[in-house]
A and B are shown apart, each in its own frame.
Chain A
Amino acid sequence: MNTKSTFCGSNDHRLNRRGFLGLSAAAGVSAFADMTGLDALSNSALAGELKKDQKRVIMLWLAGGSSQLETFDPKPGAPTGGPFRSIQTAVPGVHISELMPKLAARMQHTCIIRSLNTKNGDHGGAAKLMMRGRRDEAVVKYPDLGAVMAKEMGRADSKVPDYVTFYTQTEGRMAGDSGFLGSRYAPMELTTNNQPPDIRKLDGISELDHVQRADLRELMSKQFSQGRPNKVLGSHNEAYQRVRGLMASEKLFDVSQESAKTRDLYGRSQFGEQALIARRLAEAGVPFIRVARAWWDSHGQNFETHQEMVPELDHVMAALIDDLKDRGLLENTMIVTLAEFGRTPGINSSLGRDHFASAWSCSITGGGIKGGVAYGKTDANGNKVVEGEADAAKLYATIYSALGINPHKNYYLGSRPVPLVEPGTEAIKELVA
């Protein structure tokens, strides 16, 4: 018999993504236990502080370019509309694709921007643009959102990384880039599996040895530092603390620390498990986590591809929203669902959609964004933006504003001020809570 009760990943361990459509919207999220295993979160006061003050971003990066018509800006009945219907969301008057029933039920938490015109339909250039909000100059390499978040929201005494990116598929893989901010804000890149390499304590060293070595190093360091106030020494000690912290954070990447119920909530796909790890990291205070889900570049069989992949995205987004909300983290954790561009309204001869950056969509949830809003509008066939046009700079100004980061602030390259977003760009006020 057909093994249909499957999902994804390997052939013998799949839970069919399409099957998500038939599942109940949420299997309950109230019974989650805090199993992060991090010292930081075992201290309730510190955990409370994290929840209260620090903004975090989980970016769901749809590499290859998902179709706005099969997600956030459906055009049912139009010649460009494709085979799918739209459905009413929890917000009156706002409809999204029938492939996203779970997000539809949670639309009060989410805003959709349907009016992106970013003018770049090349994978590489567009990905760089949409990860940074601006184009590099010949002599200035701009940091991406992860690096900016690491700088703005990272904590010098943090025992967790500031910027983590999962990019375990190969399509459009692009390294995170801290640009002129330097390697201090560069990401921890996971490209082969969900566990960071080389942070595990060597098996030949016992836990006691490990602690005693650290204590000895700290004792000697303190003695050496007495009477020698020095930034270099301080940085040296900070680096050791961070290394120890990172080693302690290994368990954060281990989904087996979570209950079966929680793991089922996210789905046992690679994407679902990485999203769950992203939540664990965000909860532990990691300011920015990007989870890339590739293979959206549907020049052929666009509708079969989206029929397969959008329900998985819908499921993961719903799980993240519910889980973060249940943990009191949604207010300060932003979920950005973004790609490098959208896809053509015109359906090509292989029943695919090609690259399209003139009128496409993204969504943002939580973290200071106003939910329940569908901002901007495209024409009847989705060819053009007719209301509320937004470019990459405007999108980023909005994200920064919602996160409480002044988009007009300057960084400095030597004495040269470098504004965070393109000068003259304002946030979309309607979307900032």
Chain B
Amino acid sequence: MPPTTPAPAKGTLKAAKPIPVSQQLCGIEYSPKGDMLVAGTFEGGIRRWKVTPAELTDLPPLAGHNAWVQCVAFDSKGERFFSADSWGRVNAWSADPVQTKPLWSVADAHSTWIHAMAIHPKAEFLATAGRDNIIRLTDPATGKEIRRWEAGDDVLAMTFHPSGLSLITGDLHGLIKEWDHSTGKLKRELNAKQMFLHDRLQDVGGVRCFAWNADASMLFAGGCQPKSGGFVQGFNLVIGFDWVSGQAKMNHKTTNEADGYVLDMHWNPDGFLMAVTSGQPGQGKLIFLKPGEAQPFQSYPVPNAHSLAIHPDGKRLFVSATNANSSGNGRQLGKDKEYPANTSPLHGFEFVG
């Protein structure tokens, strides 16, 4: 049975039966109006669903990407959304469910894998970054490049300050950088080097996601504290920085080295973080965490969760996960002795009462 556990202030969190999705999903995102859910896939596509309180209804998928579409983001008005893939392409789409052609498309926005994307609070800029160590600022209306500069490292996470004045990036080596996006100049660095490890001749870890609290006085960085390279073992780690001073005021680290990465986080207006964790095969969680408390006050198993979408009403959320039995050397093969493709069941939750 799915877990049903009380959560403070929002009533009881109920888990719905997971919705099967025939492909593996990367990032998922609600539209600001809450009427659409979009997700990038591992097969160069975008899935869309019309959202009602009762159900998700499939909308025609969107083509126009290659490989992994890890980044999807709506602008604040909810009129457009943007997507970026691992071959370096960035697309803009209408939020009109009938439209299936991109508003614009830039094939070579980056020379390779785009890991992170953020949209300016007033939709003045779209920022992307990735394995080419470049930060690219794009005009969301046209797709034209406004500015690009060297990030200095693999950027894995990105956010604008809610004021719109700064762009913040998090990189492989655990550095959080605040940039003046009008010049591309570095303003300051915050230290999240706990999230990096050089082990087995590899660089592992990195800052994987950001969230702001309600008044933007705190920036939360999510990732893991790696214990080993290779088949990465690590502890969930969330560091909360006082934004004015840059001091780390919160350091939440789990005790199980199989917990893996915190891959997505959102701030709940009732004063807590909602996050999903990757875990080792078959593990992974949705956790609710209050700053200052040592452990999450709620935790729900969701196998290998990688993205979290919060409905604007704050009452509903979806977690994209991975199907069971998708790992291991001896896992069951298909009838032609092929390895079955993975899927991403969408785990829905709702606060009731």
Contact = CB atoms under 8 A, between A and B. Distances in A.
Interface of A: 1-2, 4, 8-9, 11, 14, 16, 18, 21, 64, 76-77, 79-85, 98, 121, 169, 171, 269-271, 293-295, 297-301, 304-305, 307-309, 344-350, 352, 354-355, 358, 381, 383-384
If over half of B's interface residues share one DSSP class (helix, strand or loop), that class is named, otherwise mixed; here it is loop
Nearest to B174: A2
B113 to A, nearest CB: 5
Contacts of B304: 349-350
A346 B68 contact: no
A2 B169 CA distance: 13
B43 interface: yes
Nearest to B196: A11
B67 interface: yes
Interface string B53-77: 0000000000000111000000000
Nearest to B228: A295
Contact of B337 (A18, A295, A304, A384): A384
B302 to A, nearest CB: 11
A2 B341 contact: no
B44 interface: yes
B173 interface: yes
Which of A21, A348, A354 has the most chain B CB atoms inside 10 A of its CB? A348
4 smallest A-B Cβ distances: which pairs?
A346-B339, A83-B86, A348-B327, A349-B322
Contact of A348 (B171, B204, B328): B328
Given A9-B201, A305-B230, A384-B338, A83 B326 contact: no
If over half of A's interface residues share one DSSP class (helix, strand or loop), that class is named, otherwise mixed; here it is loop
A295 B66 CA distance: 29
Nearest to A14: B198
Contacts of B278: 350
Contacts of A82: 67-68
A345 B336 CA distance: 14
Given A11-B198, A384-B337, 18 more contacts: A2-B152, A4-B152, A76-B66, A79-B42, A83-B86, A84-B112, A295-B230, A297-B231, A305-B202, A309-B202, A345-B338, A348-B326, A349-B304, A349-B323, A350-B280, A350-B281, A383-B339, A384-B338
A349 B303 contact: yes
B329 interface: yes
Contacts of B253: none
Contact of A304 (B133, B198, B204, B260): B204
B232 A301 contact: yes
Contact of B42 (A76, A270, A294, A347): A347
Which of A81, A169, A309 has the most chain B CB atoms inside 10 A of its CB? A81
Interface residues of B, number: 53
A305 B200 CA distance: 11
A4 to B, nearest CB: 5
B154 interface: yes
Nearest to A269: B201
Contacts of B68: 82-83
B67 A84 contact: yes
Contacts of B280: 300, 350
A381 B333 CA distance: 14
Nearest to B321: A349
B184 interface: no
B338 A270 contact: no
A23 B345 CA distance: 41
B66 A352 contact: no
A354 B327 contact: yes
A113 to B, nearest CB: 21
Contacts of A347: 24, 42, 342
Interface of B: 23-24, 42-44, 66-68, 86-87, 112-113, 131, 133, 152-154, 171, 173, 175, 189, 198, 200-204, 229-232, 260, 278-282, 303-304, 322-323, 326-329, 331, 336-342
A257 B63 CA distance: 56
Contacts of B338: 345, 381, 383-384
B339 A85 contact: no
Nearest to B41: A79
A339 to B, nearest CB: 14
Contacts of A269: 201
A300 B231 contact: yes
A85 B44 CA distance: 12
A169 B200 contact: yes
30 contacts: A1-B152, A2-B175, A4-B153, A9-B201, A18-B154, A64-B230, A76-B66, A77-B66, A83-B67, A85-B87, A171-B200, A171-B230, A294-B201, A299-B231, A300-B231, A300-B281, A301-B232, A305-B230, A308-B202, A309-B202, A344-B339, A346-B326, A348-B326, A349-B326, A349-B342, A350-B278, A354-B327, A354-B329, A381-B339, A383-B336
Contact of A84 (B113, B260, B303): B113
Contact of B342 (A294, A346, A354, A358): A346
Contacts of A80: 339, 341
B234 to A, nearest CB: 10
Contacts of A352: 231, 327
Nearest to B230: A295
B54 to A, nearest CB: 29
A274 B72 CA distance: 43
A18 B326 CA distance: 29
B342 A295 contact: no
Contacts of B43: 77, 79
Contact of A297 (B152, B230, B260): B230
Given A1-B152, A347-B24, A295 B201 contact: yes
A88 to B, nearest CB: 15
Contacts of B133: 4
A18 B131 contact: yes
Given A84-B86, A85-B87, A295-B201, A300 B326 contact: no
A300 B202 contact: no
B188 to A, nearest CB: 12
Contact of A383 (B328, B329, B337): B337
A354 B331 contact: yes
A355 B77 CA distance: 47
A348 B281 contact: yes
A76 B86 CA distance: 11
A239 B290 CA distance: 72
Contact of B281 (A297, A349, A381): A349
A16 B171 CA distance: 14
B47 to A, nearest CB: 14
Contacts of A384: 336-338
Contacts of B279: 350
B326 to A, nearest CB: 4
B338 to A, nearest CB: 4
Contacts of A358: 337
A101 to B, nearest CB: 11
B61 to A, nearest CB: 14
